[in-house]
Amino acid sequence: MRIAIMLRALDEKGGVAVYARYITEELLELDQQNHYFLYYSSPEHLGRYAKFPNVTERMLKRRNKIYWDQVAVPRAGKRDKVDVIFHPKFTVPLLTGCKTAMVLHGAGWFIPEFQNFWKPLDLKYIRTVMPLYCRKASAILSVSQVTTDVFNETLKVTPGKIRTVYFGPGKQFRPVKDPAVLQAVRKKYRLPERYIFTLSKYPGGDRKNIDGILEAYRISHPEIEHKLVIGGKDCHNFLRDYNVPEDGYGSDIIFPGYIDQADLPAVYTMADLYLYPSNMEAFPIPITEALACGKPIITSDQNGLREIAGDAALRVNARDPQAIADAMLQVLLDDALREKLSRNSLERSKMFSWKKCARETLGILESLNADG
């Protein structure tokens, strides 16, 4: 079988880029029988997977995203005589003659209370083209059941076409035991002895509920000795955006900037609590990372956050800072509860792995070829 993977997502940042990188690596490690054609939109990735004998890498010129998806990729697929084109994002070539599969990373465009997170023109575009892609795709993978349900209910997708396939954190995410590693990471990012950890990105504070996190920290601050560490590039701007004072609780908010993937497990490990009451997530990657590192977690009681964290975390109303603060105090002031939540996290993390995701994904792709 000849499988093409569309990999323009490697040029992007964020969860979809992480997904594209890991699913490609795991598929290639798992499967030496089928031949893979990896289509890049920039030359810097050429040679990335040269060690695999069943891989052909190609750089396809990219005038823009639509041209690359709808012209360059189907041309290459026809030339390479591929059986299936797989895109780790939510588009497929509409005019290709071969089977196609794509991945849905969320459904917020179709959930009224979350539509303000997009620019109006972007939202209109997505809502216009998504039905076309869903009809064209031979198979659709969804990262969470909540995403699957919204698409099935909203777009009336053919029953059984969308299948929920969970993925997981990177292999490096596990509790870090080496004191030297922990100390080096603490020094590198100037981390305090005791802290609450959260990850965000700038801009994007509204979606990640940064205002709710900051208010909850203000409420709980007099009763705890923990500082609040907000990881992510340029996140120090949140102090200005949300009018946080430089003194008082504001002086105990730490911004280490971008944290390298290799260092994240240690940052999770040293935290007493991972706080992630985001307003909207389909498949919250940081939650799976915190689970794998055995961290107590507080998250939102809605959408993909509830689905992925399950009963391993304390779940709260994300729009109620007092509820978030109460949960923070409950966890931080109760050693036994923290230990219980830590054990729950490690147990829950067994549900999510890239190997399992790759096996299920390969099964779906091969079933398309078997269907003829």
Q: How far apart are CA 136 and CA 102, in angstroms?
A: 10
Residue 174 lies in a domain: no
Interval 306-353: pLDDT, tens: 999 999 999 999 999 999 999 999 999 999 999 999 999 999 999 999
DSSP bridge pairs for 274: 197, 297
Residue 173 lies in a domain: no
Query: Is residue 204 scored above 70 in pLDDT?
Result: no
Q: 249 and 333 in one domain? A: yes
DSSP bridge pairs for 37: 4, 56
Q: 308 and 203 in one domain? A: yes
Average pLDDT, the chain: 95
Structural domain that includes position 129: 2-167+353-371
Residue 308 lies in a domain: yes
Burial class (CB in 10 A: 0-12, 13-18, 19+), 289: buried
Domain count, the chain: 2
Q: 101 and 139 in one domain? A: yes
Query: Is residue 241 scored above 80 in pLDDT?
Result: yes
What pLDDT is recorded for position 280? 87
Residue 205's pLDDT band, with cuts at 50, 70 and 90, is low
Q: 310 and 209 in one domain? A: yes
The single-letter DSSP state of residue 71 is I
Q: How far apart are CA 125 and CA 147, in angstroms?
A: 19
Q: 239 and 147 in one domain? A: no
Residue 75 lies in a domain: yes
What pLDDT is recorded for position 202? 72
Report, as an integer, the average pLDDT of 39-50.
96
Residue 226 lies in a domain: yes
Q: 161 and 149 in one domain? A: yes
Query: Is residue 281 scored above 80 in pLDDT?
Result: yes
Q: Under a CB-based contact definition with an 8 Å cutoff, are residues 233 and 202 in contact?
A: yes
Interval 164-179: pLDDT, tens: 999 999 999 999 999 9
Q: In what order do the strands lie in the sheet with 253-257?
A: 253-257, 227-231, 195-199, 273-276, 297-300, 314-316
Q: How far apart are CA 211 and CA 192, in angstroms?
A: 22
What pLDDT is recorded for position 29? 97
Residue 36's pLDDT band, with cuts at 50, 70 and 90, is very high
Residue 372's pLDDT band, with cuts at 50, 70 and 90, is low
Share of the chain above pLDDT 70, in %: 99
Query: Is residue 358 scored above 70 in pLDDT?
Result: yes
Query: Which of 56-65, 233-242, 352-361 holds the top average pLDDT?
Result: 352-361
Q: 282 and 328 in one domain? A: yes
Residue 215 lies in a domain: yes
Spell 232-252 as b/e; 16+ CB within 10 A means b.
beebeebbeeeebeeeebbeb
Q: 217 and 227 in one domain? A: yes
Q: 63 and 209 in one domain? A: no
CA distances from 243 to 111, 214, 324 (A): 30, 10, 20
Query: Is residue 371 scored above 80 in pLDDT?
Result: no
Q: 153 and 23 in one domain? A: yes
Query: Is residue 62 scored above 80 in pLDDT?
Result: yes
Q: How far apart are CA 253 and CA 58, in angstroms?
A: 46
Query: Which of 56-70, 103-117, 202-216 holds the top average pLDDT?
Result: 56-70
Q: How far apart are CA 314 and CA 287, in angstroms?
A: 12
Interval 67-119: pLDDT, tens: 999 999 999 999 999 999 999 999 999 999 999 999 999 998 998 888 888 88
What pLDDT is recorded for position 116? 81
CATH value at residue 137 = 3.40.50.2000
Residue 187 lies in a domain: yes
Is the bond preceding 120 in cis, omega lying within 30 degrees of 0? no
Instruction: For CA atoms 26, 27, 28, 32, give the dihedral sign.
Output: positive
CA 175 to the chain's CA centroid: 20
Helix or strand (DSSP H, E) at 214 = helix 210-220
Residue 291 lies in a domain: yes
Share of the chain above pLDDT 90, in %: 86
Q: 267 and 128 in one domain? A: no
Q: 259 and 152 in one domain? A: no
Query: Is residue 236 scored above 80 in pLDDT?
Result: yes
